[in-house]
Chain A
Amino acid sequence: MTIRGLALRYGLRLGVLATALGLWQGLSAVGVIRADEFPSMTQTASALWDQARTATLWTAIGQTLEGWAIGLAIGAAAALVVGTLIALNAFAYHSVIGVIEFFKAIPVIAILPIGLVLWGATLTMKFALVAFAVFWPLAIQVCYGVRSVDPVVRDTASVLRLRGPRKFALVIMPSAAPFIATGLRVAVAVALIVDIIAELIGGGSGVGVRILIAENAGPSAYPVMYAYIVVAGVLGVLLAGAFTVAERYVLHWHESQRSAAGDKQIYPERTEVTLAASLSPGRWPGAHPGVAVRRPARRVVGVVGWLEVAVFPAA
């Protein structure tokens, strides 16, 4: 793709956004969408602005992230330990994996009422549910990862008499890492959904409960409701994006991250020119021999590159 193609792509994207927002505003103005059911775009935007100026929005986001982060940390840590222990022992693996699959198939939402009854609308309820939801799928992923160690690598390790913690850190973890990363990527999204459900239904404080309050307050508060819905979406994009960027940093050595770059070297004509690459050569995602840039500009290019990876992964 050429730089012109790139301009076309971003032009089209902006065009779609402008058209969608314009259509929204236009239909509201003409009266096709009734104002008491669906607020206009400008109303929603101004409600978002109002919320952003006060502390309400930021506390709500903070509370949501709090439940998300604590729950994810607990669930992930437990899954990592339990998954590894199970996978290292064939007997344990075969007897437990069925149970884990069973729990994984239970919709998280079924557990919500128990959490509500036990802890009420508290932070504990939120992170307990998140941890529960994250644990099962991730534990399975960890099991698969640990068991997927290449036989040659495993034999080499045993020839070299690598045992215990060293074997774990040098042999098992590196080969399980991509599996764990995949599991974590799913977990990041699931944790946010569960967290927001716990707020929306369970009444734990955060973005979810703000949406509910605005809905109950009647049509005059609908713009606020839609503002928070947008916030929830942006939160989802940012968390997923942050994870993708982190994964690139941590797993840059692994084939799953390298193969894309390798293919491009073989087929230069298939190279995707990204926004960042068109601005600069170098080590940023999608980097491509292009025009050299001065140092201050490189920062900007780097940020643009990460944004492309993080926010627009599906091009």
Chain B
Amino acid sequence: MWWVWSAGSRSLYFPPLESIVKALWTQWVTGPARAELASSLEHLVAGYAIASALGIGIGMALWSLRYAREATSPYLYFLYVLPAPVLVPAAMTLFGIGFSMKVVLIAFAAVWPTLLNTLDGMRGVDAVKLDTSKVLGLPRWRNALQVVLPAAGPQIVAGLRNSLQVAIILMVVSEWEASTDGIGYYIVSAQQSFDYVGMWSGIIVLAIIGIVANLLFVVAEDRVLHWHYGARAVEGGAR
């Protein structure tokens, strides 16, 4: 539909889809923009990996340390609701505009949804499960790893998914504001040089990244939480 409608478009802002697709091929698949894509994905993967590890790790630590949890929870919440893009200018003044700035920024912004969801999930574990594990005399670490963590799984996954969205946004914002590489940089320089075809191709690449990331996530979630959905289906069927 878009193709037909835009085929004869003379509008400066909405170039024909055909030329966008061409640009997509020449720029992103075979051309120079491949490097931008690679560097963006590097930032994203590094930042997101750090954020996930820290989020789950710190979440578990706080779960087991009650006083630390109660003392810090309002501040964790504050950092969670703080709209993370406002940190970009601050991060620029602290870390310059290099690789480390982006990774630190993505990790810092994306850690909170995972952390708070991990904590929340582990706190919300069914009391019967906890009592059972107590009766079985499971040691503290086995209780944490084998009972509480899996039970919190669905919520942790939800947190990870939120974190991923935040990470993608931060990836683009940080490249946009302060960078010499990456997709965000490509889009902004295309826009500023009135290369609207290039801009649209960048937008489409971003959309594809978002959708592919989402798909990968759904597949992974299905694998990891297979038992959960199975159990829920059985429960639902029994009712």
- Is the pair A225, B199 in contact by a Cβ cutoff of 8 Å? no
Which of B74, B86, B176, B188 touches A13 (beta carbons < 8 Å)? B74
Query: Pick the contact of A117 from B13, B172, B177 — CB < 8 Å?
Result: B13
Beta-carbon nearest neighbor of A109 in chain B? B172
List, in ascending order, chain A residues with CB within 8 A of B133's CB. Answer: none
Q: How far is the CA of A20 from the CA of B168 in the complex (A)?
A: 30
Tell me the complex Cα distance, A135–B168, Å: 19
List which A149-194 residues lie within 8 A (CB) of chain B: 189, 192-193
- The interface residues of chain B lying within 8 Å CB-to-CB of A311 are 74, 77
B77 touches A314 (CB 8 A): yes
- A113 within 8 A of partner (CB): yes
Contact of A312 among B73, B83, B85, B213 (CB under 8 A): B73
* Interface of B (DSSP majority class): helix
* Contact A107 B172, CB 8 Å, known A189-B81, A313-B77: yes
**Cβ of B53: which chain A residues have Cβ within 8 Å of it?**
none
Q: A102-B211, A229-B87, A312-B73 are in contact. Are A110 and B78 (CB under 8 A)?
A: no
Give chain A nearest CB distance to B216 CB in angstroms.
Answer: 11
Total interface residues on A, CB under 8 Å, equals: 52
Bound Cα distance from A159 to B76, whole angstroms: 50
- A193-B169 in contact (CB<8A): yes
* Residues 104 to 121 of chain B near chain A (Cβ within 8 Å): 116, 119-120
Shortest beta-carbon distance from B210 to chain A in Å: 4
Q: Is the CB of B89 within 8 A of A215?
A: yes
Please tell me if the beta carbons of A201 and B90 are within 8 angstroms of each other in the complex: no
In the complex, whether B45 has a CB less than 8 A from a CB of chain A is no
A residues near B89, Cβ cutoff 8 Å: 200, 211-212, 214-215, 225
Q: B46 within 8 Å of A by Cβ?
A: no
Contact B207 A107 (CB under 8 A): yes
Q: How far is the CA of A277 from the CA of B177 in the complex (A)?
A: 47
Most chain A beta carbons < 10 A, residue from B82, B85, B86, B184: B86
Tell me the complex Cα distance, A49–B81, Å: 22
| B81 lies within 8 A of A107 (CB) | no
Whether, in the assembled complex, A71 has its beta carbon less than 8 Å from a beta carbon of chain B, the answer is: no
Assess the A228–B207 pair: CB atoms within 8 A.
no
* B214 is an interface residue with CB less than 8 A from chain A: yes
Kindly provide the distance from the CB of B134 to the nearest chain A CB, expressed in whole angstroms: 15
Partner-contacting stretch, out of B64-72, B136-144, B219-227: B64-72
Bound-state Cα–Cα, A118 to B213, Å:
28
Task: Give bound CA distance, A215 to B178, whole Å.
Answer: 12
Please state if B86 and A208 are interface contacts (CB–CB under 8 Å).
yes
Q: Is the CB of A105 within 8 A of B203?
A: no
How far is it, in angstroms, between the C-alpha of A225 and the C-alpha of B165 when the chains are bound? 25
A247 to B115, CA, bound (A): 24
Interchain CB contact under 8 A, A211 and B86: yes
Which of A24-32, A78-86, A231-239, A288-296 lies at the interface with chain B? A231-239
Residues of B in contact (CB 8 Å), total 50
* In the complex, A106 has a CB within 8 A of chain B: yes
B86 CB to nearest A CB, Å: 5
Q: With an 8 A cutoff between CB atoms, is B196 at the interface?
A: yes
Chain A nearest CB from B47 CB (Å) reads: 15
CB distance from B98 to the nearest CB of A (A): 15
B169 touches A197 (CB 8 A): yes
| Nearest CB in chain A to that of B211: its residue | A105
- Please report the C-alpha to C-alpha distance between residue A233 and residue B209 in the assembled complex, in whole angstroms: 28
Does B206 make an interface contact (CB < 8 A)? yes
Question: What are the interface flags for A191-235 relative to B under an 8 Å C-beta threshold, 1 for contact and 0 otherwise?
Answer: 011001100110000011001101100010010011011001100
- Which A residue sits closest to B209, measured CB to CB? A107
Q: How far is the CA of A182 from the CA of B126 in the complex (A)?
A: 22
**Contacts A16-B72, A314-B76, A315-B70 given; does A109 touch B206 at CB 8 Å:** yes
In the bound assembly, the distance between CA atoms of A8 and B73 in angstroms comes to 14
Least CB distance from A63 to B in Å reads: 15
Q: Which of A99-127 contact B (CB under 8 A)?
A: 102, 105-111, 113-114, 116-118
The chain B residue with its CB closest to the CB of A186 is B162
A252 at the A/B interface (Cβ < 8 Å)? Answer: no
CB A311 to nearest CB in B, in angstroms, measures 7
A16-B75, A237-B81, A312-B73 known; A114-B173 Cβ under 8 A: no
- Answer whether residue A96 sits at the interface, using C-beta atoms and an 8 A cutoff: no
Asked whether A226 lies within 8 Å of B73 as measured between CB atoms, the reply is no
What are the nearest 7 A-B pairs in CB distance?
A12-B71, A236-B81, A215-B89, A110-B206, A233-B82, A105-B214, A106-B207
Beyond known contacts A113-B202, A314-B76: 11 more, CB 8 A cutoff: A16-B75, A37-B94, A107-B210, A117-B196, A193-B83, A196-B86, A212-B89, A225-B93, A240-B81, A314-B120, A315-B73
In the assembled complex, 11 residue pairs joining A and B whose CB atoms fall closer than 8 Å, in A order, are A9-B70, A13-B72, A13-B74, A107-B206, A107-B207, A109-B172, A113-B199, A193-B83, A196-B85, A197-B85, A225-B93
